Chains A and B, each alone.
Chain A
């Protein structure tokens, strides 16, 4: 049953991700992206990573996508007032997309399907185990990444402060 659920949800993920790109309306794109993240949550649940599933749910679906939607609504982008993209941007887009495709194909070739990755501890995704892992062997990278986030936050606050001074 697990595999059939996986294939069903994986198909949905791919369809929704494609819809993100193909939707003309940016708001619809964001809504499809929310659905895509929801299917990711289901994937995490299937992998028995409950904590990651629910955090993905809260942070990506509940917070980041709300902000995306918020900004898009604020800008109120429509098909009519969408700026014409220059040829240079289009060519750059094609090149970047091509590079991504090459990387993806290369990485898929490198992974041999014959030896699937097996977790030593299937309950690793539960909160207690994950916490012990994060604050044990991975203490330093975890703390460093949180400092990185803090730096970004302070930077963002500082940027808005500067603007205020220039205006007033």
Chain B
């Protein structure tokens, strides 16, 4: 194996990892600032200018807290739970194309860790695995509220995965590929998939709210009914891992939505821009644009959280099974018919 290849991938993975962690860290700050803005408050403003050191202070606090493992908990699984949640949150970034290929010293460096030809399905697998962290942690705590929360998380994820998968099928009918790199390349300039698949996008977005356990679908950690949900018994950095994993999940699903439906690193008039600057600069501009889209989605996640109250559990199930799934199936049929008709003429 080429040593340069190993170094290149290692560097990319390290950078992606750090970026995910830093974004997750500052998402906690952004969440509080957005909440404050929407509720006409100031939000955290004590640690550093505008309170930008608040996430560091919170992180330090998490590390310094006493670590408590309940005496009747299943000790080993109690530790596996948060670790698994964190792991599943982090590995999703591997298949997302973060930009066009860079050219460094004659070597073509793709800004994607790996371009497997089942990229979309890989993301799906990671999402479906994510629920184990919550389930194992909730069960291992040996607390009835945690257990109820774990069960809720399981049924919620399973239900919304179905609708999510169906909404993606309509997209795949159009793109004819499962490779994320090709899907992004097809959306050159203005040809974003959201224009052709608006309904699919809305279904996908609602499902990703449910899959990341974000409000209004944060039933697994519903304080009014379940104390703290699956992380009731957790303290110190283990709790920190669960909270962190949620923000990383939010970052990854924003990246996925930007990639699948909002053109990834593509932007209008990119050819005009590319004609005036060097190829590497053009690629980096694309990456910056992708991150701008991701931040917009993260803001949207927060905006929704502080606007819409939490659903009741039966409302959640009704929405998933009786509204989203039929809509997604109808979307597939319509997309299929339109593609068949277009190909005919």
Listed in ascending order, the chain A residues whose CB lies under 8 Å from chain B are 27, 31, 34, 50-51, 54-55, 57-58, 61-63, 66-67, 69-70, 73-74, 76, 126-127
Contacts and interface: CB of A to CB of B under 8 A. Distances in A.
A127 B128 contact: no
B139 A73 contact: yes
7 contacts: A50-B116, A54-B125, A62-B125, A63-B158, A70-B154, A73-B151, A127-B118
Contacts of B125: 54, 57-58, 61-62
A164 to B, nearest CB: 15
B301 interface: no
Nearest to B165: A58
A73 to B, nearest CB: 5
A50 B116 CA distance: 9
A76 B125 CA distance: 27
A66 B178 contact: no
Contacts of B291: none
A73 B118 contact: no
Given A50-B118, A54-B121, A54-B122, A70 B128 contact: no
B117 interface: yes
A149 to B, nearest CB: 14
A4 B150 CA distance: 38
Interface stretch (B99-107, B129-137, B259-267, B276-284): B129-137
Contacts of B150: 73
Contact of A67 (B77, B116, B118, B158): B158
Contacts of B129: 57, 61-62
Interface in B184-234: none
Nearest to A41: B125
Contacts of B124: 54, 58, 62
Given A54-B122, A67-B158, A73 B178 contact: no
Nearest to A65: B132
Contacts of A73: 135, 139, 147, 150-151, 154
A61 B161 CA distance: 13
B131 A66 contact: yes
A66 B135 contact: yes
Nearest to B138: A73
B118 A69 contact: no
User: Which among B77, B124, B129, B131 has the greatest number of chain A C-beta atoms within 10 A?
Assistant: B129
Contact of B121 (A31, A55, A66): A55
B128 A31 contact: no
